[in-house]
Chains A and B, each alone.
Chain A
Amino acid sequence: MNSAIAVAGLRVLRGGRTVLDELSFEVPRGSVTGLLGPSGCGKTTLMRAIVGVQIVAGGDVQVLGRPAGTAPLRSLVGYVTQAPSVYADLTVGENLRYFATVLGAPPGDVDRVVGEVDLEEYVDSLTASLSGGQRARVSLAAALLGTPELLVLDEPTVGLDPVLRRDLWRMFHDLADNGVTLLISSHVMDEAVRCDRLLLMRDGALLAEDTPEELLRQTGTKDIEAAFLALVERRATEGSS
């Protein structure tokens, strides 16, 4: 089993509307894969289906060789939602110690992840008193606890300081070098070049699935935003002919 994620014919309905329509793709192990697309295109729904918290209408989602959301995956898949899902009325340390205990992570793990998201000086601060970006980092730190084999991160670097953003992307690649698979969503196309592979999404369907270099080569464009536009136009002409 080489793929960390294997999605086949995935369909998701929400409130009677088709949000994801017959989606199929694979994500290789140990890669940093970017999930790019405009807001509302179904990125979050797809991520939720991979984590196994989304009710799906059809298709198959295999994660690390097992059906998504099954019990053995619960300590192997780290998930960071777009809105930080941590307890605002606990300190950073209390939050992370709680999640570490639930995950069965070793005691020193809290210090490690606090260092990785650069929040050492805030360990004893109440999470509610932190800025939005800092709270997002607490949420990210919680997903790094233990030994996840797959990290599903929904817009983890939005609004962060450029230096920290660079450091986080470095950490993501270090993790991937150690065999961890990362699926990272963004609606900012300029983050695409930092990924090994890209999934471009629009209106609940996959536009393209390739390396950034190959996408630029195939579309004859200079940046991913232009490539995205070229792919949308190509699809439109294919559809009308």
Chain B
Amino acid sequence: MSIRCTLATARRVLSQLRHDPRTIGLLIVVPCVLMALLAWVFKGTQTFDEIGAPLLGIFPFVVMFLVTSVATLRERTSGTLERLLSMPIGKLDFLLGYALAFGGLAIVQACVASGLALFALGLDVAGPTWLLVSVAVLDAILGMALGLFVSAFAATEFQAVQFLPAVVLPQFLLCGLLVPRDEMTDFLYALSSVLPLSYAVDAMRAVTTSATVQSDTWRDLGIVVGAIVLALALGAATLRRRTE
């Protein structure tokens, strides 16, 4: 572990993004447009208040998953990852550098989208705003960590993009947004219980309905953080200094 290498990697990833303003624009604007569309579709009903907050976490989750899996795949195919791993940098330094850079971006993204939803679109949540934003940021970081991990199993950008429906959509179907988790069959409930997005949505639900922070919410957030750490550790395990 070297803080120097971690910070240098984070700075490098941010510099790459700075040269690509369109990607930054898309990262910030797309979740906002989707939230606005959602508010418009459900105008005059209770639905926006019910699902607005969970989706505020899911949109950044999806976007960050996609961006990171493609970014790390590019690093693998361009030979820069191999070069880096032949240098004195730890695998964890590399991953944490990415996590730091994209995590920072996730904070900006979540803050802008939450701000828009709360102040312009009239999203009504009972719980504290800081918790709403925090869960959204955690969701984005979870998407990033999963994206880093699955990029190891993609050899081409076509494959990397296919991992979005393969990894993200099942979590979306089972997270309790479409059908409440306690109404699912035992098997589906068990399946949804091992998927990290379910806990993120549970936490968002709690923020929507409850004015105080409950212990269940802390447990849910703890599980999301655990899933992030696990995905990063698995991601580090897929980085190989020696290849065929």
Check if A102 sits within 8 Å of B15, measured CB to CB.
no
Give every chain B residue within 8 A of A85 (Cβ-Cβ): 78-80, 82-83
Choose the segment among A26-34, A50-58, A114-122 that binds chain B (4+ C-beta atoms closer than 8 Å). A50-58
Q: A77 near B: Cβ within 8 Å?
A: yes
Check if A126 sits within 8 Å of B19, measured CB to CB.
yes
Choice from B5, B19, B82, B242 contacting A102 with Cβ under 8 Å: B5
Q: A209 near B: Cβ within 8 Å?
A: no
Q: A184 near B: Cβ within 8 Å?
A: no
Check if A87 sits within 8 Å of B86, measured CB to CB.
no
Check if A101 sits within 8 Å of B5, measured CB to CB.
yes
Q: For chain A residues 67-109, which have a beta carbon within 8 Å of chain B?
A: 69, 71, 74-75, 77, 79, 81, 83-91, 94, 98-99, 101-104
- How long is the Cα–Cα vector from A101 to B80 in the complex, in angstroms? 15
Q: B87 near A: Cβ within 8 Å?
A: yes
- How long is the Cα–Cα vector from A94 to B9 in the complex, in angstroms? 11
Give every chain B residue within 8 A of A103 (Cβ-Cβ): 87-88
Give every chain A residue within 8 A of B83 (Cβ-Cβ): 79, 81, 85, 99, 142
Choice from B16, B89, B243 contacting A54 with Cβ under 8 Å: B243
Check if A90 sits within 8 Å of B16, measured CB to CB.
yes
Q: Residue on A with the closest CB to B83?
A: A85
Check if B242 sits within 8 Å of A55, measured CB to CB.
yes
What is the distance, in angstroms, from B10's C-beta to the closest C-beta of chain A?
Answer: 11
Give every chain A residue within 8 A of B9 (Cβ-Cβ): 98, 102
Q: B182 near A: Cβ within 8 Å?
A: no
- How long is the Cα–Cα vector from A201 to B84 in the complex, in angstroms? 28
Q: B20 near A: Cβ within 8 Å?
A: yes
Give every chain B residue within 8 A of A98 (Cβ-Cβ): 8-9, 11-12
- How long is the Cα–Cα vector from A126 to B15 in the complex, in angstroms? 11
Choice from A52, A55, A101 contacting B4 with Cβ under 8 Å: A101
Give every chain B residue within 8 A of A55 (Cβ-Cβ): 242-244
- How long is the Cα–Cα vector from A53 to B4 in the complex, in angstroms? 24
Check if B80 sits within 8 Å of A102, measured CB to CB.
no
- How long is the Cα–Cα vector from A222 to B190 in the complex, in angstroms? 77
- How long is the Cα–Cα vector from A167 to B32 in the complex, in angstroms? 55
- How long is the Cα–Cα vector from A98 to B9 in the complex, in angstroms? 7
What is the distance, in angstroms, from B13's C-beta to the closest C-beta of chain A?
Answer: 10
Q: A239 near B: Cβ within 8 Å?
A: no
Q: B85 near A: Cβ within 8 Å?
A: yes
> Residues of B at under 8 Å CB distance from A?
4-5, 8-9, 11-12, 15-16, 19-20, 78-80, 82-89, 241-244
10 A-B Cβ contacts within 8 A?
A53-B242, A55-B243, A69-B86, A69-B242, A71-B88, A90-B16, A98-B8, A99-B83, A102-B8, A104-B88
